[in-house]
Amino acid sequence: MTLLEIFPSLRSEMPSRLDSAVWPRDTRYDGEGRIMVGGVALADIADEYGTATYVLDEQEVRSRCRAYRRAFPEAEIIYAGKALMIRAVAEWVTQEGLSVDVCSAGELAIALSAGVDPERIILHGNGKSSDELRTAVRCGVGRIVVDSLTEITLLSALATTRQRVLVRLSPGIDVHGHPAVRTGVTDQKFGFPLGSELADEAVERILRRSNLELVGFHCHLGSQIYNPDFYGEAIRRMIGEMARVRQIHGRILTELDLGGGHAVATSTRPDEVRRQPCAGPSAGEAAAYRGGDAEMNVQELAEVLDDALDAGCARHHFPRPRVALEPGRAIVARAGVTLYRVLSVKHIEGGHTYVTVDGGMSDNPRVALYGARYDVVLANRHPCGPQMTATVAGRHCEAGDVLAVDVQLPADLRPGEILAVPCTGAYHHSLANTYNSIGRPPVVAVRDGRARTLVRRETVEDLMSREVGV
Ligand SMILES: Cc1ncc(COP(=O)(O)O)c(C=O)c1O
């Protein structure tokens, strides 16, 4: 018997919805105090599909796509498939009018099998193999973003019809994130430094090839960027470079792809929200921590981009290029919730309380990789009693396999109960691995009160099928 059954008046104390900064908008408690997403109780999904399981709210993905289309009616919105490339998502985003960016033959195959028009596919990657380039050219991808001189030679040898390409430039903008995601700075593996001899060489070589058509420039500044001014600065620098190409080669580039990296809130703890300064290439010390700043406001971004385009184009007397944006996380992160079952609750005398769950760094390596922080919430009942501070630990054989530290959970949490981790739609399934030979979780879509499997759970048999040696 639950507390709610004993004291029905407690129901009125329950929030009817959870914070939409990190949960899908259609999240609420049902009459029994269970969390519902897309009209389905998460506890029922855990019972039916097992745990760990990724739940994905279809309407949330679609509505994020629509929000981008509304905010940027003239821009091309390209979904960055690396965030979550599965067939259903590729289909939903293209139905909502987005293009798709892929960065491997595997992602390309998934997009094509979802029926995405190859013309609307953009191929990325700093290490595209010749096989991948051949496949992309053969299936007619709309654009390829060139990342090295070698690639230009390879592409030109492979293209049988005129292939449209963009050159990826690093504009020297430091967004001060984790070193692994600062891709706007010049000294890193992606692209060509803006204004460098290498970049000039790339442009020249492409322009000399009759089967390659240089249509524009691309840049990607990093991840979790919530200060739109970084993109304004990128526009100013990139337009300047486009104007230089016109001056030197008499060629007008018409496309400016500003990459993705728009922040979503991954934790509702205000003390973890850090303000991003923006003062060009070396922005100095970060300002104070402040709540409510973690998310990119797309409307504000649209205004900043518009102003920067006006100013940059006026300054260089350059025709306004068509802008493309490549949000990944901002489309799918909040649509995803990961479910785990509690395996044990261990109170260490004089130490922490460890709640071990049946997943961990194999389904969410972002904590170990980037120090990402998450909320963790009990999903199968609404807790009304005292809380405890706990560390939610994964089941893998690594002391660092921790999903969340210092989270508040009910003091009477028991093995068998269901924990939900919101904002796990991006870079979770796509970064998942099989550490400790644990199969990857399924992806289950919810919509209008119904759940369905999009990707099935990886079984021990799946893992064994790769074992072909003795
Ligand atoms: C070239 C490019 N575009 C877009 C993205 C998407 O970034 P996000 O998911 O943070 O929007 C990435 C992420 O690494 C990227 O490398």
Active site residue 313: no
Residues 150, 247: one domain? yes
User: Does residue 186 form part of some domain?
Assistant: yes
Q: Kindly give the confidence (pLDDT) of every residue in the chain, 470 residues in length, as a single tens digit, with 9 standing for 90 and above.
A: 555 555 555 554 555 558 878 999 999 999 999 999 999 999 999 999 999 999 999 999 999 999 999 999 999 999 999 999 999 999 999 999 999 999 999 999 999 999 999 999 999 999 999 999 999 999 999 999 999 999 999 999 999 999 999 999 999 998 866 555 566 677 788 899 999 999 999 999 999 999 999 999 999 999 999 999 999 999 999 999 999 999 999 999 999 999 999 999 766 544 443 445 554 333 322 222 223 447 899 999 999 999 999 999 999 999 999 999 999 999 999 999 999 999 999 999 999 999 999 999 999 999 999 889 999 999 999 988 999 999 999 999 999 999 999 999 999 999 999 999 999 999 999 999 999 999 999 999 999 999 999 999 999 999 999 999 99
Residues 264, 363: one domain? no
pLDDT at 288: 26
pTM of the model: 0.92
Residues 119, 21: one domain? no
pLDDT at 281: 33
Residues 179, 275: one domain? yes
Burial of 16 (0-12, 13-18, 19+ CB in 10 A): exposed
- Looking up residue 35, the CATH number of its domain turns out to be 2.40.37.10
pLDDT at 128: 96
d(CA 28, CA 165): 46
Binding site membership of 330 for ligand 1 (Cβ less than 6 Å): yes
- Looking up residue 267, the CATH number of its domain turns out to be 3.20.20.10
Residues 175, 74: one domain? yes
- Which residues on neighbouring strands pair with residue 144, listed in sequence order? 123, 165
Structural domain count, the chain: 2
The dihedral of CA 291, 294, 299, 300: what is its sign? positive
User: Does residue 304 form part of some domain?
Assistant: yes
pLDDT at 455: 98
Residue showing tokens 């790769």: 466
Residues 308, 363: one domain? no
d(CA 333, CA 329): 5
Whole-number Å distance, alpha carbon 100 to ligand 1 midpoint, is 12
Please give the DSSP secondary-structure letter assigned to residue 17.
Answer: B
- Among residues 281, 300, 329, the one where a domain terminates is 329
pLDDT at 410: 97
- Which residues on neighbouring strands pair with residue 94, listed in sequence order? none
Specify whether the backbone of 3 is left (phi greater than 0), alpha (psi in -120 to 50) or beta: alpha
The type of residue at 441 is P
Residues 355, 389: one domain? yes
In 3-state terms the chain splits into helix, strand, coil percentages (rounded to 5) of 35, 25, 45
Residue range of the domain that includes 226: 59-329
Residues 156, 98: one domain? yes
Residues 317, 337: one domain? no
- β-strands 377-378, 40-41: how paired? unpaired
CA distances from 207 to 14, 36, 83, 136, 202 (A): 63, 55, 32, 20, 9
Specify whether the backbone of 406 is left (phi greater than 0), alpha (psi in -120 to 50) or beta: left
Residue showing tokens 């509505």: 63
d(CA 266, CA 269): 9
pLDDT at 355: 98
The residue whose CB lies within 8 Å of the most ligand 1 atoms, and thus the one to mutate among 181, 223, 423, is: 223
Coil vs helix vs strand at 232: helix
Give nearest CA residue, ligand 1 atom 4.
260
Considering the candidates 278, 313, 384, 397, report the single residue annotated as catalytic: 397
Binding site membership of 326 for ligand 1 (Cβ less than 6 Å): yes
User: Does residue 193 form part of some domain?
Assistant: yes
- Among residues 272, 298, 329, the one where a domain terminates is 329
Peptide bond before residue 109 is cis, with ω within 30 degrees of 0: no
The residue whose CB lies within 8 Å of the most ligand 1 atoms, and thus the one to mutate among 84, 266, 326, 430, is: 326
Specify whether the backbone of 109 is left (phi greater than 0), alpha (psi in -120 to 50) or beta: alpha
- β-strands 387-393, 336-347: how paired? unpaired
User: Does residue 426 form part of some domain?
Assistant: yes
User: Does residue 356 form part of some domain?
Assistant: yes
Whole-number Å distance, alpha carbon 222 to ligand 1 midpoint, is 7
- β-strands 387-393, 402-410: how paired? antiparallel
Residue showing tokens 């119904």: 450
Please give the DSSP secondary-structure letter assigned to residue 367.
Answer: H
User: Does residue 469 form part of some domain?
Assistant: no
Binding site membership of 168 for ligand 1 (Cβ less than 6 Å): no
Binding site membership of 142 for ligand 1 (Cβ less than 6 Å): no
- DSSP string across 406-444: EEEEETT--TT-EEEEES-SSSSTTT---GGGPPPPPEE
Tokens of 329: 């996380």
The type of residue at 129 is S
User: Does residue 217 form part of some domain?
Assistant: yes
Whole-number Å distance, alpha carbon 116 to ligand 1 midpoint, is 19
CA distances from 94 to 71, 121, 207, 412, 460 (A): 17, 10, 31, 45, 34
- DSSP string across 243-312: HHHHHHH-----EEE----B-------GGG-BPPP-BTB---S---B-TT-SS--HHHHHHHHHHHHHHH
Residues 358, 400: one domain? yes
d(CA 171, CA 186): 7
d(CA 125, CA 104): 7
pLDDT at 187: 78
Residues 307, 176: one domain? yes
Contact 379, 420 (CB under 8 A): yes
How far, rounded to the nearest angstrom, does the alpha carbon of residue 331 sit from its chain's CA centroid?
A: 7
Binding site membership of 257 for ligand 1 (Cβ less than 6 Å): no
User: Does residue 470 form part of some domain?
Assistant: no
Which atom from ligand 1 is nearest to the alpha carbon of 327?
Answer: 11
Residues 16, 42: one domain? yes
Cβ count within 10 A of residue 408: 14
- Among residues 294, 314, 329, the one where a domain terminates is 329
